[in-house]
A and B are shown apart, each in its own frame.
Chain A
Amino acid sequence: MDFYRIAWLIPILPLIGSFLVLFIGKRTPGRGAPIAILGVAASLLLSLGVFFEMIGGRGVYEREWHWLSIGPAELGIGVRVDGLASVMFVVVTVVSLAVHVYSMGYMHGDKRYTWYFAALSLFTGSMLNLVVAPNLIQLLVGWELVGICSYLLIGHWWEEKANSDAAIKAFITTKSGDVGFVLGVALLFGATHTFNMREIQELAVAGEIPRALVTAGAVLLFFGAIGKSAQFPLHVWLPDAMAGPTPVSALIHAATMVTAGVYMVARLFELFASSGAALKEVALVGAVTMLIAALLAMVQDDIKKVLAYSTISQLAYMMAGVGLGGPAAGVFHLYTQGFTKSLLFLGAGSLIHAVHSNNLSEMGGLRRVMPVTYATFLVGTLGMAGIPPLASFWSKDEIIGAAARAGGGVGQVVFVAAVVTAFLTAFYMGRALFLAFEGEYRGHGHPEESPPVMTGPLVVLAVLAAVAGLVGAPFVGAFSRWLEGAGAEAHPVEPGVLALSVGVAVLGLLAAWRVYGRGAPARDPTLSLGFLTRVLVNKYYLDDLYLKGIVRPVQYPVARAVYWTNQRILDGAVNGAAILARVFSRFLYDTVDQLGVDGAVNGAGRLVGGLGRALRALQWGRVQRYAAAALAGAAVLALLALLKV
């Protein structure tokens, strides 16, 4: 079967599923969930088909159907299937299917259960459309659609204002990045007169576009990625986005949507590469973000926030990987993280489901009660920390190795940041693991293991998180061949880097074990660092800066001032003109018209009236007098006539 040719079905099937769920879901058994799952599962099968064809050595398949012509702009709709897309297909559909199934348990009894599944499937379809897009506009369509799905799902429990606040924050923050993205699309279109990404990149590589424009376009597009992938300084929305249901966090805010930025940079890698500056910027933004997010993760009590900051940090790793090591390095981490992070989120969801709280301070000692959750969470934690041979180890090592190889100022900065972050990651993941599962239970009620519909996906993802990395291990090297073509060489294992990265990971875990291994210490050392803790707890005051510096001023004083201007000045001018016109016309009426013009008219009337009154005396009303007058007149005339003669 030629899966490439029917790859267009991959995004379509979940979309169809979504619409079916939305319109008939409530009346079907299972309240729509089975339809959604069916759509995603079918999509997964096709994705696997595509994936194995790709592994079989099939090259790039691109097909665009004509969709729109607007003047010189020709816009197509179509598919581009290559290594990058096939890997993304698999990541998205596997995680999405796991999340769909898991949600049947997690969301059981929710009052908007059907709607939830419709939105989840809509998200999956949109994300797949983003992946499959051969041109920038189709990419943008998917890009914005996943944004709105994220908004809808973060605010799923909208009865709480905090949740809808978080949803709006997420949407607006990412949309701010999209300003750059849209302008970047416009710029590249202006320079190349095409939206097709392959053509744009070919032109860029051939030097047909001025270097400055390439850099400007790439940087503008990267703004979009900063927003979507929650990179510094637009990362602030992601921790708040944890307000949504946990499976949503696993799917959207860990494995798929947030990776769209990384995916976009990888998809347009040649464009970024033709402008060296843009790629360096990507790497540097990554270096800054990974550190600041990892630091933030250390002071969180909410387990989902720990994972959220960890996501930001790992996305930054991917960015740095793409920036320094090429698409294979970054996307490999995306691929392993997709499984690892969604595993951790679903594990966290399982914990939350059991203890009815997000806070680590209300967990503890759950290892014995929830063995499956514990085992899978452990796999995730070790993977995150970078312990071989788990999947994340290989990809993290690849990025650190790439940074070491890259050298130069940027390479060194990224290398240091990556190693420090690796240590911090191991530490905060260990902290979360131990606080949740070791020591005594500190919460309320009697937690129980989650139902199989939830633990099943955990096990599947745990297996994937454990072994999926082998395809990219240096001694296999398949992954970079998939992404960068057959010519790509696997980088040799560098013992020094390997030792260093494993060393810091073990060190981090040991440090965490020492502090938290026997349950929560009386005083959490991460919270007793004085000034540093204060800065971290307040998230570097960035949220305050944005909220108090931009959002609230725009929302209230600026908006009111503009509106005041509108009412008082612009509308005032209109009303003023009206009032002036009325005052003037009053003067005109009272003085000029009534006294002057009308005076003349009335005067003429009065004159005639007076004359009439005077002459009225002659009006006797007696026929005979008239006759007499007539005769007298005739007599006078006759007399005159006689006298003349």
Chain B
Amino acid sequence: MWIERWALTLAVVVPLVGAGVVALLPREREALAKGMGVVVSGVALLFGLLALTRYDFSLGGMQLELKLPWIRTVGASYHVGVDGISLPLFVLTLLLTFLCAVYTLRWMPEGGSAKAFTALVLLLETGMAGTFIALDLILFFVFWELVLVPMYFLIAIWGMENRVYAAIKFFLYTVFGSVFMLLGFLALYFRASPHTFDVVELVRMGSSGAFPRAFQNLVFLGLFLGFAIKVPMWPFHTWLPDAHTEAPTVGSVLLAGILLKMGTYGFVRLALPILPEASRDWAPLIGVLAAIAIVYGALCCLAQRDLKRLIAFSSVGHMGFVMLGISTLSRVGVNAAVYGMVAHGVITGMLFFLAGSIKDRYHVREIQEIGGGMLAKLPYLGGVLAYAAIASLGLPGLAGFWGEVFSLLAAFNPAPGLPLGLYRGLAVAGAVGTVLTAGYFLWMLQRVNLGSVPERWIAKPMPDVVLTEWVAWAPLLVLILALGVYPVLVFGVTNPAVTTFLALGR
């Protein structure tokens, strides 16, 4: 059937073609451009869902693979496929982009033309979705870098006051990391015999001990720099708050929801299975950095005055939980990490939507300026904010809980061979981080949502959540609850895959 072979590719190509078509539209046809964005990303999502129907959830390996020769001279091929680790992220990408396109129907940021915006978002979708299905290092790198360009323009053109600084910082920082990543890829290529960029091949070689340990460590350093900056891990995170604060709403949603996961996904997909021994050597360091990020991110959140910046910093902490899970190298930990990625994508994506919508109403982002009482002034918006914030602080029954708790559980019981005492210390730090996380979210809710409406807002008319917003948000709100109540939705897919790939390293 063609679906097995082509559904993934189509989901990636459709937005690319769509971006081209949208770019050719006349500038004045704004509504048409936005509509095209919804249709194109919707079609891509449909292909993604089609792929989902052909996926065998009980298997752990790669599925729906397609391999075509591409650049024969260097042995790079067009090789795509998904397994339980990439599938949830792939579908999440398509979904989130679609919702962003819907949201844009009403809340189009100012700064440039609608058609350029839509085309860039679609181009971004191609890059993001492609990264998650690429099974060839060169292809992976192409998609990885493809993401940067549209995001750069989204921030630099449609951003806030300080947008150019943030955009350049984002771009340069990430490129700086990906250079080292590319070096790592090349080192792998030349070391592998026969030379290959194919991920599946490399994983096979890596897990059978084809690469000596010193070489692994060196390559891991390269990959680590590339991925850690993208995640971002402490202390490479400083581009993130700036980029988030300056980016337009949709940019922030995709940045937090998907882009950050590319880094953690890189660790799980490439670094761990190809370089198993180096992973062991590096894991404690990664764990320590992750634990620092959790506590540190939470403390930074407490110091924030800007709502959007607070949410941005909360990502540092949440990605810390994901990295903590990965650093345990245990099945529980990696499962928790993938779950955490999906949950963070859904929840933080939602929170950034909310930050944008609040800004659209109050025209300020300072928590002090909003001054409380939103639950009285805009009950639905306030209610949704409370819901998302409480989900983010890890309440069971909502999506944030499982990734967090199992990540702590894994940190307390890491894979054999890792320093147990250190990891238990990290688990304690992480658990303390959950208290701080609860602290800053509840404090934020108190200052934004609760209390009485300040004088200056009482008379100002503001729309509560509008229909477009409900449509764009409903899937996320439902997912937050569904993932929380029925975590098998993600764990059921990830568990066979994680079991398969961690078994390779043994």
Contact = CB atoms under 8 A, between A and B. Distances in A.
A contacting B, Cβ–Cβ less than 8 Å: yes
Contacts of B373: 159
A145 B487 contact: no
A159 B397 contact: no
Contact of B435 (A137, A175, A560, A571): A175
A148 B397 CA distance: 11
B397 A574 contact: no
Contacts of A168: 439, 442-443, 446
A172 B439 contact: yes
Nearest to B335: A70
Contact of B488 (A68, A71, A167, A555): A68
Contacts of A541: none
Interface stretch (A180-188, A416-424, A529-537): A180-188
A559 B300 contact: yes
Contacts of B153: none
Contact of B431 (A69, A70, A155, A182): A182
A269 interface: no
A144 interface: yes
A571 B428 contact: no
Contacts of A560: 303
B412 interface: yes
A144 to B, nearest CB: 5
A168 B487 CA distance: 28
Contact of A164 (B239, B401, B446, B487): B446
| Residue of B235, B239, B498 ringed by the most chain A CB atoms within 10 A | B235
Contact of B498 (A71, A190, A566): A71
Contacts of B491: 68-70
A151 interface: yes
A164 B452 CA distance: 12
B499 interface: yes
A20 interface: no
Contacts of B411: 186
Interface in B157-203: 169, 172-173
Contact of A71 (B332, B436, B450): B332
Nearest to A186: B412
A67 interface: yes
A570 B443 CA distance: 26
A151 B442 contact: yes
Interface in B252-304: 296, 299-304
Nearest to B295: A562
A122 to B, nearest CB: 9
Contact of A179 (B330, B397, B428): B428
Interface in B326-382: 330-332, 335-336, 373, 375-376
Q: Which of B432, B451, B502 has the most CB of A within 10 A?
A: B451
B438 interface: yes
Nearest to B498: A71
Contact of A554 (B332, B412, B436, B488): B436
A155 B386 CA distance: 13
Nearest to B405: A182
Residue of A71, A159, A559 with most chain B CB atoms under a 10 A cut-off = A71
A567 to B, nearest CB: 8
Contacts of A178: 434-435
Contacts of B435: 172, 175-176, 178-179
A171 B442 contact: yes
B390 interface: yes
Given A164-B451, A186-B427, A189-B409, A563 B303 contact: yes
Contacts of A69: 491, 495
A70 B496 CA distance: 9
A464 interface: no
A554 B437 CA distance: 12
Contact of A186 (B413, B438, B449): B413
Contacts of A67: 488
A47 B390 CA distance: 31
A70 B300 contact: no
B238 interface: yes
A552 B402 CA distance: 30
B10 interface: no
Contacts of A176: 435
Contact of A141 (B237, B239, B332, B397): B397
A558 interface: yes
A514 interface: no
A144 B401 contact: yes
Contacts of B401: 141, 144
A158 interface: yes
Contact of B336 (A70, A167, A570): A70
Contacts of B498: 71
Interface in A183-214: 183, 185-187, 189-190
Contacts, number: 140
A478 interface: no
B405 A140 contact: yes
A72 interface: yes
A175 B488 CA distance: 26
A73 interface: yes
Given A159-B376, A161-B451, A574 B499 contact: no
A161 B443 CA distance: 11
A145 B173 CA distance: 41
Interface string A416-455: 0000000000000000000000000000000000000000
Interface string B399-432: 0010001101101110000000000000110011
A185 B451 contact: no
A559 B303 contact: yes
A70 B173 CA distance: 35
B443 A558 contact: no
A140 to B, nearest CB: 7
B395 interface: yes
Contacts of B239: 574
A70 B332 contact: yes
A158 B375 contact: yes
A144 B397 CA distance: 9
A148 B395 contact: yes
B61 interface: no
A189 B436 CA distance: 25
Nearest to A71: B331
Nearest to A562: B299
Given A145-B397, A563-B300, A159 B438 contact: no
A553 to B, nearest CB: 11
Given A145-B397, A562-B303, A179 B434 contact: yes
Interface string A153-165: 0010011010011
B443 A141 contact: no
A73 B495 CA distance: 10
B12 to A, nearest CB: 30
A260 to B, nearest CB: 14
B417 to A, nearest CB: 15
Contacts of B488: 67-68
Contacts of A155: 450
Contacts of A189: 409, 412-413
20 contacts: A68-B491, A70-B336, A71-B335, A137-B405, A145-B396, A159-B450, A167-B442, A171-B442, A178-B435, A182-B405, A183-B408, A183-B427, A183-B428, A186-B408, A186-B413, A554-B436, A554-B439, A559-B299, A562-B299, A574-B173
Interface of B: 169, 172-173, 235, 237-239, 296, 299-304, 330-332, 335-336, 373, 375-376, 390, 395-397, 401, 405-406, 408-409, 411-413, 427-428, 431-432, 434-436, 438-439, 442-443, 446, 449-452, 487-488, 491, 495, 498-499, 502
Given A168-B443, A185-B409, 6 more contacts: A69-B491, A159-B450, A164-B450, A168-B442, A175-B435, A566-B238
Interface of A: 67-73, 137, 140-141, 144-145, 148, 151, 155, 158-159, 161, 164-165, 167-168, 171-172, 175-176, 178-179, 182-183, 185-187, 189-190, 554-555, 558-560, 562-563, 566, 570-571, 573-574, 578
What 5 pairs between A and B have smallest CB-CB spacing? Answer: A71-B331, A186-B412, A559-B302, A563-B303, A190-B413
